[in-house]
């Protein structure tokens, strides 16, 4: 299960193969290399899906579907390109397909404290609702850039690969998104700065 993986990092620990090495091995049909990629990225991709689909089961299903597609289409992998960006591009496409099949009445980025099972009180819920609404009100590309940066931890060049835009365009969208969010969430600035969103 994707949610049960214990480690996922773009930077491999000492002694572990790089993403490029793993991709090269996968291109040769080496399944152990593919399993390493799975355990390196499945947990963060699970969170990516969960935040967007608001459901553990569907997030787990989409992780499995994503890696099944990556394996079937492994000939498209390129050791010279960012594996993380490739995976997030594929994940984004799956989310779009899923939302087309089952469009939600309301779409907003879900913000959940990591490793917390506590139910939010009414005040926290209202604050989260305001933040979600502000993020959801951003123009589409600004919202994607902001979420990929703040919630998924992608670097600007990785976001550029995922969205197929230039790094300079990513910087522009991020700057504009931050400006709009600071304006619309002025009363919550202290809390948001504590969370590290802005």
Q: Is residue 114 part of a domain?
A: no
Q: Is residue 148 part of a domain?
A: yes
187 vs 172, higher pLDDT: 172
- CA 98 from chain centre, in angstroms, equals 16
* Residue 3 pLDDT level (bands cut at 50, 70, 90): very low
Q: Are residues 53 and 85 in the same domain?
A: yes
Q: Are residues 97 and 14 in the same domain?
A: yes
Domain boundary among 101, 134, 150: 101
Separation between Cα atoms, residue 50 and residue 128, nearest integer Å: 16
Number of domains making up the chain: 2
The CATH number that applies at residue 182 is 1.10.10.10
pTM for this model (two decimals): 0.57
User: Do 185 and 130 contact (CB within 8 A), yes or no?
Assistant: yes
129 vs 66, higher pLDDT: 66
Q: Is residue 115 part of a domain?
A: no
Which residues, in sequence order, are CB contacts of 130 under 8 Å at separation 6+? 185, 188
Separation between Cα atoms, residue 12 and residue 61, nearest integer Å: 25
Q: Are residues 176 and 88 in the same domain?
A: no
Q: Is residue 92 part of a domain?
A: yes
Average pLDDT of every residue of the chain: 77
Tally the C-alpha atoms within 13 A of residue 10's C-alpha that lie toward its C-beta.
Answer: 13
| C-alpha gyration radius of the chain | 18
**What is the span of the domain harbouring residue 50?**
2-101
Q: Is residue 168 part of a domain?
A: yes
The CATH number that applies at residue 57 is 1.10.1740.10
Q: Are residues 21 and 85 in the same domain?
A: yes
48 pLDDT higher than 80: yes
124 pLDDT higher than 80: no
Q: Is residue 59 part of a domain?
A: yes
Instruction: Please state the rounded mean pLDDT for residues 167-186.
Output: 90
Q: Are residues 136 and 190 in the same domain?
A: yes
Q: Is residue 137 part of a domain?
A: yes
């Amino acid at each position: 299960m994707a949610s049960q993986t214990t480690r996922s990092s773009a930077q491999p620990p000492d002694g572990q193969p790089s993403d490029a090495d793993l991709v090269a091995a996968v291109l040769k049909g080496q399944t152990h290399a593919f399993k390493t990629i799975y355990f390196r990225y499945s947990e963060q991709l699970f969170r990516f899906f969960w935040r967007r689909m608001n459901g553990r089961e569907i997030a787990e299903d989409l992780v499995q579907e994503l890696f099944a597609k990556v394996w079937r289409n492994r000939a498209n992998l390129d050791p010279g390109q960012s594996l993380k960006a490739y995976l997030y591009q594929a994940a984004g496409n799956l989310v779009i397909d899923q939302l087309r099949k089952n469009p939600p009445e309301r779409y907003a980025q879900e913000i959940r404290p990591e490793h917390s099972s506590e139910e939010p009180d009414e005040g926290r819920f209202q604050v989260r609702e305001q933040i979600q609404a502000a993020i959801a009100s951003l123009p589409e590309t600004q919202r994607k850039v902001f979420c990929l940066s703040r919630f998924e931890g992608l670097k600007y060049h990785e976001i550029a690969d995922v969205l197929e835009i230039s790094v300079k365009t990513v910087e522009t969208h991020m700057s504009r998104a931050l400006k709009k969010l600071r304006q619309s969430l002025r009363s919550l600035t202290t809390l948001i700065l504590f969370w590290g969103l802005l």
